Amino acid sequence: MRHEFEILVSADGIAARVSQLGEEISRDYRGETVLLVGVLNGAMFFLTDLARAIDPDRITVTLDTIAASS
C-alpha cells in the first residue's frame, strides 16, 4: 500500500524559519544561558539545527530531552 502525502512546508521554508528563530533567540537572550528542551528523541534533529542557528558568541546553549507518556 502506497500513501500519498502533501508537503505543507518545504525543507527550505523550515530551514529559513529555524534560522530566524536562532537570530531572535540570539538577540532576545544575549549574554544568557539557554536550555533547549525537546520532547522525545525525535526533536533532537530540530534542536540541533536550532542550536547551530544561535550565535555562540552571544549565548551559551545546552540541549536536553524529556520523555512523556499519556
What average pLDDT does the chain have?
Answer: 92
Q: Which domain holds residue 55?
A: 32-70
Model's pTM, two decimal places?
A: 0.81
Tell whether 67 is covered by a domain: yes
Q: What is the pLDDT of residue 59?
A: 94
Give the separation between CA 34 and CA 50, rounded to whole angstroms.
12
The model's confidence at residue 9, banded by pLDDT at 50, 70 and 90, is very high
Please give the tally of structural domains in the chain: 1
Tell whether 1 is covered by a domain: no
Tell whether 39 is covered by a domain: yes
Give the separation between CA 44 and CA 7, rounded to whole angstroms.
22
Looking at the DSSP assignment, which residues form a beta bridge with residue 28?
A: none
